[in-house]
Amino acid sequence: MPYATQAEMIASYGMPKLVALTDIGQPMTGELQGAVLDAKLDDASAEIDGYLAGRMSVPLASPPPVIKLMCRRLAYYLLLGPAATEVDQADAKAVRDYLRAVAAGNVSLTSPDQAPAQAGAGSVLFEQGAKDWGREAA
């Protein structure tokens, strides 16, 4: 299941752009080809899963908004194919760099209030007045 939907892609990039990028059959129909768009959304989602698989269980049951955004951006880049400009290539590189950072553990996909508690050694106990180290130790 892709992390983004056709409706989200239309909201992000507009129907005219997506029609131009998906209507690749002969003869051209002038309409959005949902199968082409879905294939690119699936490809983008699979690429995202490839980055996240080492860190979490994929596919994500409820992907955070940032993953939906990354999926849309990658799918758009994949739709562009060889027509991608330098700006589009830089955008795709930024998405992949972000996903690498998530995979490396440098970026978390959970908000701080949803993050699991960190395991630790517990609290530190101080006792005043006793000297356990040094020459004067009893």
Least confident segment among 16-25, 36-45, 101-110: 101-110
Cβ atoms 22, 32 nearer than 8 A = yes
Separation between Cα atoms, residue 62 and residue 3, nearest integer Å: 9
Helices 6-13 & 15-22 angle (0-180, nearest 10): 120
Query: By mean pLDDT, which of 14-18, 28-32, 97-101 is the weakest?
Result: 28-32
- What is the structure's pLDDT at 44? 97
Query: Which tens digit of pLDDT belongs to each residue from 43-75?
Result: 999 999 999 998 889 999 889 999 999 999 999
